[in-house]
Structure 1
């Protein structure tokens, strides 16, 4: 017989320890499995919203693509706001108020963003005009 188990108190303690760990682990697993499954419509809508917003930490990545800690927090915030009944527009407005217009991938068309919307088109037309002018010479 193993000398460790000669003491009745020690063997009882070890038996209680293993029993507690076994029952505690199965109770924890049962508790985790009883949690309700999240609404899949909310999950899809949260993914769609996270694709429309830019991650404040990652360069040129959406919240959906980013693995930064703040992106995970913002995705959780979006999901909780959806579960509370907020609409997509309300969530985007909340994020814009909190982080500024730069969080949007496609900013609204207004005076300060006209260059973002029409600048590339103007540069393209200018380039084509210069090329045509050089060809005619």
Structure 2
């Protein structure tokens, strides 16, 4: 018998402590293996959301593409909102409410954004019309 455990109470305490450490380690490993799977799905969702939002600092870049400090903060905020249970549409609405409609990389089609969606088409039609009008009314050069 080991001289440290002469008392049966110390021996019992030692065995109970050993068993509790074994079981707590097994539980920790079981939960530690589950968390990365959830984190990966949150990470994938956060990436998809950051691809449809515009970076407030970088010109013509999504949050996913931007390396600006505010982009890193917003990506972290998206991830934390996902962990809190927010859905994709709720996060987009939250960002629009906080930063305005300009945060969307492609704004929704509604009366307030009608010029953004139809403006380029109208300019193209007007430009083509002016080009044809100029070509049609150009003076004819007589052939020699």
TM (normalized to structure 1)?
Answer: 0.70
State the partner residue of 2:123.
Answer: 123
Q: Give the Cα separation in 2 of the matches to 1:106 and 1:68.
A: 20
Q: Secondary structure at the match of 2:76?
A: helix
Q: Which residues of 2 match residues 1-137 of structure 1 at below 5 A?
A: 36-37=35-36, 39-137=39-137
Deviation at 1:110, TM superposition (A): 2.3
Q: Give the Cα separation in 2 of the matches to 1:57 and 1:95.
A: 15
Q: Give the Cα separation in 2 of the matches to 1:123 and 1:59.
A: 23
Q: Give the Cα separation in 1 of the matches to 2:119 and 2:67.
A: 31
Q: Give the Cα separation in 1 of the matches to 2:118 and 2:99.
A: 24
Q: Give the Cα separation in 2 of the matches to 1:60 and 1:132.
A: 33
User: Which segments of 5 or more consecutive residues in structure 1 lack a partner in the other structure?
Assistant: 1-33
User: Which segments of 5 or more consecutive residues in structure 2 lack a partner in the other structure?
Assistant: 1-31, 138-144
Deviation at 1:83, TM superposition (A): 1.7
Deviations 1:70-103 (A, max 9, x none): 1111101111111222111000000011111110
Paired residues, number: 104
4+ residue segments displaced more than 3 Å: none
Deviation at 1:136, TM superposition (A): 2.1
Deviation at 1:69, TM superposition (A): 1.2
TM (normalized to structure 2)?
Answer: 0.66
- CA RMSD in angstroms comes to 1.6
Deviations 1:48-76 (A, max 9, x none): 10010011122221111111111111101
